[in-house]
Structure 1
């Protein structure tokens, strides 16, 4: 079969690889009908996430048709259309029973790597390195889904693949980021990053009752999409003060009660000294992630507020203003998304027409086009916001 594979930093190829096989009685094999390139995939491409190996199959946003089912899988049958959450969950461990699906204690097949990095292992993830289980990803014609009697979301007839696809990651991720903010009706919510996750953060913040949403980015197409959703926008290339100061100015000195970092490890700001230092440290292997946005979100947040971090970080962060967080009494919430905690509610909202997730898609292509579109997406060329691939 065809699959998009990692061969080293900035080297993604469409390879011919063996078809997956049933390995456990709870497994299923999915014929991929739609998959996507995620901003988190770019962290793998750019070398920010460790424990990648040559030939690893990428992709954690995918859906398709069930073509084979293990003998003990009573949930699925051949022919079902399913979206597969990026988190792999056993459904039986203490964390799964609490609904902390991304913290499953059994699904990570390489727990020793995660324990070295994080102190404890977290759940296995599709297509996301030997840090999270070394599972083949969904940017492939066929995918083996472990514990397939737990997390796959069965999609009703009449809903298109493109409407359903993002239930596996970015829609629940944006929703959880907003839910972590405990939004109140008077709240001003600031969202750093207007990529795919940021766009769903904006939509979710409004759907959860925010009074105002302020979106920060420097890519015109992304800012325009955020503005069309009702957000007030800041192009950080066009202001002559810090973003926290600018947010105060545009809110009459009030500021933002809730701040969302939807960027993560590869943030940047063209004129910021700390961002320049981050880039130098990363380039010389003296640092890992670039946490410019996290610093800004902490500084911008009003006392007693919440900083929500759906953006992915993989290493040790430098020069975080923790004194500001402590003295302002901020709450910081983060984590990989507990997709199944939200998936059925969000499926209902799509069915009822409250939101059409297709608004995010700008590019459609096939797996063979994937390597080039990884570069287009990373470099923000051709108005690229979200790429959907088919076999």
Structure 2
């Protein structure tokens, strides 16, 4: 079958690889009808994610049709149309029973590798390095889905793929980010990063009752999307000082809730931004924590900082003193996708949100390497790409 495979920094290729097979009786095989390139994929593309091996199949935002099921699978049948979460979760460990699916104890076969770095292993993730399971991803013609009774959601309506595909990751990720921010009525929410996760964090903040949303980015198309679809006030961090502007907009109080939807590859400005990039290139730090620093400084006293942006290791000069002394609550984590599938599908079916608004490009799988480059360089107004095998 054809698949997008990783071959080193900024080297993604379309390759012929073996079709997946049932390995465990709880597996299913799906034929992919749509898959997407995620901002998190760029961390792999740019060589920052440890545990990648040449030839790894990429992608963690897939959907398609079930073509085979293992003998122990009870909830899926051949012919079902499903969206597959990026989190691989067993459904029976303590964490899964408490709906903390991205912390599953049993789904990472390389848990020891992750434990040495993190202290404990989170769940396995589709298409996201051997440290997190080594599972082949969904930017391919077919995908093996482990623990197929735990996660894939059957789409019984005739909603098009582009409206439901993002249940696999970015819609639940944006929603959990807003939920973790503990938004209350009349809150002002600041969202750093207006990529797809940021866009869904903005939408979700509105769904959860935020009075004002302030969106921060440097890409004009992303800021325009935040204004048009999220009714957000916007700050271009390359043209104005973010902290000063946020204080002006909030009467010096600061935003009640701050969301870092950027993560490890944050673009800082000036000397600090240049130093972050130099340290990362020299492997003196894995992450560029510019947004974390800015959000901690800007958040109001007693406010909440939610971090859906992916971080991979260490970052220098995170202001722990201000974080503690301002009594800021911090909530983080990979998304517990399975927890949100049913309620968020309902918001789509009832017309509360049409997630396809983020899609700017739809291309065949064969153009995947070109679209990785386009997305990475922020060219051609690229915000979200759907690929079809």
Same fold (TM over 0.5): yes
TM-aligned CA deviation for residue 169 of structure 1: 0.3
- Say yes or no: does 1:300 pair with 2:301: no
TM-aligned CA deviation for residue 192 of structure 1: 0.2
Q: Deviations over 1:229-257 (max 9, x none)?
A: 20000001111x3x122101122223201
Within 2, Cα distance between the matches of 1:156 and 1:231?
A: 33
What is residue 177 of structure 2 aligned with on the other side? 177
Q: Deviations over 1:345-389 (max 9, x none)?
A: 000000000000000000000111000100100100000000000
- Say yes or no: does 1:389 pair with 2:382: no
Stretches of 4+ aligned residues off by more than 6 angstroms: none
TM-aligned CA deviation for residue 324 of structure 1: 0.5
Q: Deviations over 1:243-295 (max 9, x none)?
A: 12210112222320100000000001233x22211101111222211010011
1:303 alignment partner, SS class = coil
What is residue 63 of structure 1 aligned with on the other side? 63
What is residue 214 of structure 2 aligned with on the other side? 214
What is residue 362 of structure 1 aligned with on the other side? 360
TM-aligned CA deviation for residue 304 of structure 1: 0.5
TM-aligned CA deviation for residue 158 of structure 1: 1.4
Within 2, Cα distance between the matches of 1:4 and 1:250?
A: 44
TM-aligned CA deviation for residue 297 of structure 1: 0.6
Within 2, Cα distance between the matches of 1:307 and 1:158?
A: 38
What is residue 235 of structure 2 aligned with on the other side? 234
Alignment of 1:15-164 (within 5 A): 15-164=15-164
Q: Which moved more, 1:249-258 or 1:212-221?
A: 249-258
- Say yes or no: does 1:278 pair with 2:276: yes
Backbone CA RMSD of aligned residues: 0.7
- Say yes or no: does 1:260 pair with 2:256: no
2:210 alignment partner, SS class = coil
What is residue 324 of structure 1 aligned with on the other side? 322
Q: Which moved more, 1:247-256 or 1:224-233?
A: 247-256
Q: Identify the match of residue 341 of structure 2 among 340, 343, 349.
A: 343
Within 2, Cα distance between the matches of 1:349 and 1:74?
A: 26
TM, length-normalised to structure 1: 0.98
Structure 1: state its 5+ residue gaps: none
Contact 2:150–2:338 (Cα < 8 Å) also in 1: no
What is residue 370 of structure 2 aligned with on the other side? 372
Within 1, Cα distance between the matches of 2:371 and 2:85?
A: 23
Within 1, Cα distance between the matches of 2:16 and 2:199?
A: 34
1:136 alignment partner, SS class = coil
Contact 2:193–2:262 (Cα < 8 Å) also in 1: yes
Structure 2: state its 5+ residue gaps: none
1:349 alignment partner, SS class = helix
Q: Deviations over 1:299-331 (max 9, x none)?
A: 110010000000000011211001001001011
Within 2, Cα distance between the matches of 1:217 and 1:158?
A: 35
Within 2, Cα distance between the matches of 1:24 and 1:288?
A: 35
Within 1, Cα distance between the matches of 2:88 and 2:309?
A: 19
1:304 alignment partner, SS class = coil
TM-aligned CA deviation for residue 77 of structure 1: 0.2
Within 2, Cα distance between the matches of 1:353 and 1:269?
A: 37
1:203 alignment partner, SS class = helix
2:338 alignment partner, SS class = helix
Count of residue pairs brought into register by the alignment = 388
Within 1, Cα distance between the matches of 2:238 and 2:272?
A: 15
Q: Deviations over 1:63-96 (max 9, x none)?
A: 0000000011010000000000000010000000
Contact 2:32–2:62 (Cα < 8 Å) also in 1: yes
Within 2, Cα distance between the matches of 1:269 and 1:286?
A: 17
1:158 alignment partner, SS class = coil
TM-aligned CA deviation for residue 182 of structure 1: 1.0
